[in-house]
Chain A
């Protein structure tokens, strides 16, 4: 079946622009995660949703980062007033429910801020 999809796959933004990154999780998956992966580093946790509820946003690096999942399926990660240090791959993952051990990752969105 279809896996986790993300769009766009690549995004170039000028410093100061706002961007929105989309994640389509596997249908029926309750849990959704966002991660940020800088070049040469492992992914770092940003935020977690259970259905439409954002239960953990402890990893969001600043108040310029905002995530939502209004209907408990598709999620959007928004970054306002992008900075060069926001350049990274943004990964989305979903899992069937909160007791599932496996997270399924999308291919990521590579954001480059110039």
Chain B
């Protein structure tokens, strides 16, 4: 019962902005949108999360549509090291975040081209 839909793969040129879309049309009011990424042979790494406002940190920006049915993760200046599988995850915030396991889908394989 996947809560999110992401493209299987995407390419982006090095130095350009990478925009990764995610659809979560059944998201409920207390659910957050999280993004993690997994570089080959490593464990997943947290990137960013948000509820309804756009968020930015040192790694990326998260743009959530007003109806919250979709979002976009933006890597402003992609490098070769950003090649990874990116997972968009919807998660209930009521429990406080850390108490629940994450439900990963298959994610988007982002390939940064030199």
Stretch at the interface among B16-24, B40-48, B62-70, B75-83: B40-48
Instruction: Compute how far the CA of A47 lies from the CA of B107 in the bound complex, rounded to whole angstroms.
Output: 22
Tell me if A108 is interfacial: C-beta within 8 Å of chain B.
yes
Encode B78-114 as 1/0 by CB contact (under 8 A) with A: 0000000101000000011111111111110000000
Instruction: Compute how far the CA of A96 lies from the CA of B34 in the bound complex, rounded to whole angstroms.
Output: 17
Which of A59, A91, A99, A100 is close to B44, meaning CB atoms less than 8 Å apart? A91
With A33-B101, A42-B107: A107-B41 Cβ-Cβ less than 8 Å: yes
Encode A73-114 as 1/0 by CB contact (under 8 A) with B: 000000000000000000101011111111111111000000
Main secondary structure of the interface of B (DSSP, over half): loop
Quick check: A45 and B98 within 8 Å, CB to CB? no
Within 8 A of B (CB), among A14-54: 30-31, 33, 35, 40-48, 50
User: With a CB–CB cut-off of 8 A, which chain B residues contact A43?
Assistant: 44, 102, 104
With A102-B46, A105-B44, A106-B43: A96-B106 Cβ-Cβ less than 8 Å: no
Which of B42, B97, B104 is close to A100, meaning CB atoms less than 8 Å apart? B97
- Chain A positions within 8 Å of B, measured between CB atoms, are 4, 30-31, 33, 35, 40-48, 50, 55-56, 59, 91, 93, 95-108
